[in-house]
Amino acid sequence: MTQKTVQEVHRVVIRFAGDSGDGMQLTGDRFSTATAVFGNDLSTLPDFPAEIRAPAGSLFGVSGFQIHFSDEDILTPGDRANVLVAMNPAALKTSLVDLAPAGVIIANSDAFTEKNLERAGYSSNPLKDDSLSGYQVYEIPMTAMTLEAAASVEGLTKKEAERGKNMFALGLVSWMYSRPTDVTERWIQKKFGGKPAVMAGNLAAFRAGHAFGETAGLFAAQYVVKPASNAPGRYRNVTGNAATAWGLVAASGQAGLPLFFASYPITPASDILHELSRLKNFGVRTFQAEDEIAAAGAAVGGAFGGHLSATATSGPGMDLKEEALGLAAILELPLVVVDVQRAGPSTGLPTKTEQGDLMIAMYGRHGEAPVPVIAPRSPADCFGAAIEASRIALKYRTPVIVLSDGFLANSAEPWLIPDPASLPDISIAFATEPNHDGEFWPYLRDENLARPLAVPGTRGLQHRIGGLERADGRGNVSHDPANHERMIRMRAAKVAKIADDIPPLEVDDPSQSAEILVIGWGSSWGAIREACRRVRDAGKKVARAHLFYLNPFPRNTGEVLRRYQRVLVPEMNNGQLVKLIRAEFLVDAKSFAKAQGLPFRAGDIETEILKRV
Amino acid sequence: MVEGNGAVGTQAALTKKDFESDQEVRWCPGCGDYAILSAVQSVMPTLGIEPHKVVVVSGIGCSSRFPYYMNTYGMHSIHGRAATIATGLATARPDLSVWVVTGDGDALAIGGNHLIHTLRRNVNLTILMFNNQIYGLTKGQLSPTSERGKVTKSTPFGSVDQPFNPIALALGAEGTFVARALAVDRPHLTGVLSRAAAHRGTSFIEVYQNCNIFNDGAFDMLTDKAHKVQNQIRLEHGKPIRFGERDERAVVQLRDGSLKIVEAGSVAEGEILVHDEHRGEPSLAFALAHLSTGPTMPTPIGIFRDVERPVYGDDVERQLVAAQAKLGAGDLGKLLMSGDTWEVK
């Protein structure tokens, strides 16, 4: 065995890319787990096509998974990869733009056949010509070596054996970056426990990849990325969708109400439904409706029945749910609506991310129907966002929109697991007695302008609510013009008043003398923070703020904006928050908008800031 | 004491008054809806379910004003969506008796999708669909049950739309309780309502209801003195289907499975179809639904089908109970710790 040198590095970005059937998401996910267990901080970016099994070898069928890991805190999945694992020519072609100069390419040379090269639009084999001379290229016949490794496994078909090539790649990269192997091996054993031959084949492939790295003369060095110095405690990896689902379960517990979750399958929100459907022992009732409209309607029904009621969707479903949102707004019923935004309009780019739904969340209903809107900033932040949305919904008897997105939904980050005992009490009191001369008036308001909720089944408090305008207090239908205007203002005032019940907007300005403020919302948090870090490392001053509460804005938002000479608003859309800020605060904020279906690169924002400091 | 429709009954002596709200009823004078409201209010106390256990959910349209007049819990919701809201409520709260009041436009046009899926799931609801074969609240356009050729504001040259047969539609969607009644025949209507309330699962009742403003007389052939005896085919479980002044007409099944109206004297007594509400196989009920293409000819009235099938909310509840029995009550701390975790010191 050749003795390899071990080099320490601080951060690495690896991109696994292959056909959508090559198991790249799985490979990336397993590498992430091993990396997290090892103690590195990390951020991931799954990037896959809308087609489940696109034609083999095609450019549009390439599925990628990028992971950024480090010995210090990580904010983004990384601008450019240091290492590209390309399982075929199409994967190489589509991913090369994301590879850093002089980066490493590990290519499955077996897949660089004439047919695959042609499908990817190569006129000559890039592994053989000098087009990749700016990179370190390793050609490895992964398919052949995987087949050879599994040759002794009995009962394994050639097709099954070949499918283990992603495990070969995983083994090889695990060796390169000194990842622990036991975590992955245990997972393979568990995953394929019911199919001993497939398990043995995958294990053999994984070990062969690892051993190949160790023994082949190909690689001069092995790399180590030391564990990050995160706060002490127990950690796990979590995706935004899982955190959202668990946040709703936590909110149900903290409210002391059963969770009713109605949804219709839609990318990229379906995993929330999948996760909650498993958790029946938490008393979670899930309902897969016939359409988005019915899901929202059923959620209104569940809310009327006194459950913590929620629904989740993405843009196309949001269009359809606005009808029920308007009803819940006029009824004043608590309802949580999670919009996992994707690139629109219409079907748009179903598997790609975007922040395009801020305006529909704010103004998507006919008539005057303001609702609170919040936006988590990272995958783990979705947990707290689901609880906070539930708190606001229950306390103020209003629908609340949570703007997650495709990036948060599918990407993972390490999460310091919260202690359930530390979560806030969000319980509310239902009406049990008449509140007006022996009668129950459903629209008598408390100091928060919230109305009493009497749950069906409560003796003596029978009442009727509806979508027709009604007089305040008693709640009878009213067509009185002055009353209608009063009710519009009452509902708006109630939502606006929530600003008294949320924390002020924090500003990160270590210099205390920056002239430019960068303000964002939602999943661009990591990229904006990383960009500001780089600008400051370059000796320039920049202030940064991030809005979790989009409606109402924190009370000090205007004051913060006016403190700076220049305001830059990076968004993954065509400029939406910037319009709200300009309209609300008369501040000459500038937009930096990007809408390519992918998260910002920190470098994009860094460049924009540097143009202005 | 009725347990079919969600709420467990009580022995408290209730009266019609207990189900009347203090709101002034605002349908047009002479509207058929008054009779249905009064019938429902008079049936409710006989079910032994207290008003606070009853929820009436409606969509939009004339019929959908109904909840305001009931001293129960109620929601006047969105056009077409009452079934969705009621489905959520009945699934979350199987202890309630949930009623949906809707119309031919609300249930069959804008809400058609929800209606068929509610029936397929067999959610524990009682759906009263008032069919007046016209849009009333929007002032007289054709509805999905308006007859071909009908001249309305939106069809000045006559309708070229094929109408729905609501009973056939409900049967086609695997409805477990499907019935038709007449707003003006109170004893029959209250009988059907009682049976619907006792049925566990979705009960669908089409109520022919006259709109005296925009479609007056649509059901005269079934309701006026001169014609009703000739045209009402009363379905009674276990009895041969005969009708007419002297029961002189009868329904028989042909070799191809279809049904036909014949002179009773022209066939042997044994050939006359005997009505069986509980027949599991729906094709005979479907054939009965197609005996008439509209209320201007001999038309079956009564319960077409009343069968047992698993109820959506009950099965949801069973899964929760089973999961808790197997795994214990959910523990958030354990859930968050599940899967791969690691310690940072």
What is the average pLDDT across B106-119? 98
Q: Which residues pair with A12 in a beta bridge?
A: A69
For the cut 60, the answer to whether the pLDDT of residue B268 exceeds it is: yes
B323: Cα separation from own chain's centroid: 34
SS3 letters for A261-272? EEECCCCCCHHH
Rounded to a whole number of angstroms, the distance from the CA of B223 to the nearest CA of chain A is 33
Rounded to a whole number of angstroms, the distance from the CA of A314 to the nearest CA of chain B is 20
What are the pLDDT digits (tens) for A228-252?
Answer: 888 899 999 999 999 999 999 999 9
C-alpha dist (Å) from residue B83 to A109, B144, B192, B206 = 58, 18, 20, 15
What pLDDT is stored for residue A227 in this prediction?
86
Per-residue burial over A331-342, b if 16 or more Cβ lie within 10 Å, else e, is bbbbbbbbbbbb
Mean pLDDT of chain B: 95
Interface mutation vs chain A, best among B87, B123, B318, B331, most A CBs within 10 Å: B87
Please judge whether A283 and B320 are an interchain contact, meaning their C-beta atoms are less than 8 angstroms apart: yes
C-alpha dist (Å) from residue B22 to A211, A530, B25, B29, B69 = 83, 63, 9, 18, 7
What is the average pLDDT across A203-223? 89
What pLDDT is stored for residue B12 in this prediction?
61
Set of chain A residues whose Cβ sits within 8 Å of the Cβ of B113: 290-291, 294
Identity of residue A326: G
What pLDDT is stored for residue A234 in this prediction?
95
For residue B192, what are the domain limits? 4-218+310-321
Q: Token pair for residue B277? A: 């509400």
What is the average pLDDT across A431-439? 96
Which long-range contacts (C-beta less than 8 Å, at least 24 apart) are formed by B186-194? B186/B35, B186/B38, B186/B39, B188/B234, B188/B301, B188/B302, B189/B35, B189/B36, B189/B39, B190/B39, B190/B42, B190/B43, B192/B302, B192/B303, B193/B39, B193/B40, B193/B43, B193/B126, B193/B128, B194/B2, B194/B43, B194/B46, B194/B47
pLDDT band at A73 (very low <50, low <70, confident <90, very high): confident
What pLDDT is stored for residue A4 in this prediction?
67
**Contact present, A142 and A168 (Cβ < 8 Å):** yes
C-alpha dist (Å) from residue A510 to A349, A532, A539, A543 = 39, 11, 12, 8
Please judge whether B342 and A36 are an interchain contact, meaning their C-beta atoms are less than 8 angstroms apart: yes
Q: Rg (Cα) of chain B, in Å, rounded?
A: 22
What are the pLDDT digits (tens) for A590-604?
Answer: 999 999 999 999 999
What is the average pLDDT across B202-212? 97
Of A258, A300, A420, the CB nearest to B88: A300
CA angle, A325 then B83 then B10, to 5°: 115
In a domain, B34, yes or no: yes
Please judge whether B74 and A309 are an interchain contact, meaning their C-beta atoms are less than 8 angstroms apart: no
For the cut 90, the answer to whether the pLDDT of residue A54 exceeds it is: no
pLDDT band at B2 (very low <50, low <70, confident <90, very high): very low
Of A183, A293, A301, the CB nearest to B92: A301
Please judge whether B88 and A309 are an interchain contact, meaning their C-beta atoms are less than 8 angstroms apart: yes
Report the sign of the C-alpha dihedral through residues A166, A145, A97, A350, in that order: negative
Q: How many CB atoms lie within 10 A of CB A408?
A: 31
Please report the residues numbered 461 through 490 in chain A whose beta carbons come closer than 8 angstroms to any beta carbon of chain B: 461-468, 476-477
In a domain, B14, yes or no: yes
0.85 surpassed by complex ipTM: yes
Please judge whether B93 and A305 are an interchain contact, meaning their C-beta atoms are less than 8 angstroms apart: yes
Please judge whether B88 and A298 are an interchain contact, meaning their C-beta atoms are less than 8 angstroms apart: yes
User: Which of A188, A183, A214, A175 lies closest to A85 in space, CA to CA?
Assistant: A175
d(CA A77, CA A97): 15
Set of chain A residues whose Cβ sits within 8 Å of the Cβ of B74: 462-466
Of A33, A281, A462, the CB nearest to B324: A281
What are the pLDDT digits (tens) for B50-104?
Answer: 999 999 999 999 999 999 999 999 999 999 999 999 999 999 999 999 999 999 9
What pLDDT is stored for residue B7 in this prediction?
65
For the cut 70, the answer to whether the pLDDT of residue A3 exceeds it is: no
pLDDT band at A1 (very low <50, low <70, confident <90, very high): very low
User: Which of A512, A141, A570, A572 lies closest to A353 in space, CA to CA?
Assistant: A572
For the cut 80, the answer to whether the pLDDT of residue B126 exceeds it is: yes
Please judge whether B53 and A283 are an interchain contact, meaning their C-beta atoms are less than 8 angstroms apart: no
What is the average pLDDT across B192-216? 97
Of B86, B319, B336, the CB nearest to A246: B336
What is the average pLDDT across A37-50? 89
pLDDT band at A222 (very low <50, low <70, confident <90, very high): confident
Interface mutation vs chain A, best among B81, B106, B312, most A CBs within 10 Å: B81
Q: Rg (Cα) of chain A, in Å, rounded?
A: 27
Interface A-B, measured as beta-carbon pairs within 8 A, has a size of 212
What is the average pLDDT across B285-313? 97
In a domain, B282, yes or no: no
Of A231, A299, A464, the CB nearest to B68: A464
Q: Is residue A541 classed as helix, strand or coil in its secondary structure?
A: coil
For the cut 70, the answer to whether the pLDDT of residue A538 exceeds it is: yes
What is the average pLDDT across B23-45? 96
C-alpha dist (Å) from residue B114 to B170, B173, B182, B312, B315 = 12, 11, 24, 15, 20
d(CA A351, CA A411): 12
Please report the residues numbered 259 through 318 in chain A whose beta carbons come closer than 8 angstroms to any beta carbon of chain B: 260, 262, 279-285, 287, 289-291, 293-302, 304-307, 309
**Contact present, A47 and A97 (Cβ < 8 Å):** no
Rounded to a whole number of angstroms, the distance from the CA of B127 to the nearest CA of chain A is 16
pLDDT band at B340 (very low <50, low <70, confident <90, very high): confident
Please report the residues numbered 204 through 243 in chain A whose beta carbons come closer than 8 angstroms to any beta carbon of chain B: 227, 230-237
CATH at B82:
3.40.50.970
In a domain, B116, yes or no: yes
**Contact present, B94 and B314 (Cβ < 8 Å):** yes
SS3 letters for B173-224? CCCCEEEEEECCCHHHHHHHHHHHHHCCCCEEEEEECCCCCCCCCCCHHHHC
Of B91, B113, B335, the CB nearest to A285: B91
In chain A, whose CA is at the least distance from the CA of B94?
A305
In a domain, B256, yes or no: no
What pLDDT is stored for residue B1 in this prediction?
37
Set of chain A residues whose Cβ sits within 8 Å of the Cβ of B70: 464
In a domain, B228, yes or no: no
For the cut 80, the answer to whether the pLDDT of residue A220 exceeds it is: no
For A356, list phi and psi in degrees, rounded to 5: -90, 0
For the cut 80, the answer to whether the pLDDT of residue B10 exceeds it is: no
What are the pLDDT digits (tens) for A133-155?
Answer: 999 999 999 999 999 999 999 99
What is the average pLDDT across A48-53? 82
What is the average pLDDT across A499-525? 97
In a domain, B287, yes or no: no
What pLDDT is stored for residue A25 in this prediction?
94
What pLDDT is stored for residue B3 in this prediction?
45
Rounded to a whole number of angstroms, the distance from the CA of A318 to the nearest CA of chain B is 16
What pLDDT is stored for residue B253 in this prediction?
96
Rounded to a whole number of angstroms, the distance from the CA of A355 to the nearest CA of chain B is 28
pLDDT band at A26 (very low <50, low <70, confident <90, very high): very high
What are the pLDDT digits (tens) for B131-178?
Answer: 999 999 999 999 999 999 999 999 999 999 999 999 999 999 999 999
- Proportion of chain B above pLDDT 90, given as a percent: 94
- Proportion of chain A above pLDDT 70, given as a percent: 99
Set of chain A residues whose Cβ sits within 8 Å of the Cβ of B59: none
**Contact present, A434 and A440 (Cβ < 8 Å):** yes
Rounded to a whole number of angstroms, the distance from the CA of A12 to the nearest CA of chain B is 21
Mean pLDDT of chain A: 95
- Count the domains in chain B: 1
A85: Cα separation from own chain's centroid: 24
Q: Token pair for residue A311? A: 């629904």
Set of chain B residues whose Cβ sits within 8 Å of the Cβ of A71: none
For the cut 80, the answer to whether the pLDDT of residue A169 exceeds it is: yes
- Proportion of chain A above pLDDT 90, given as a percent: 91
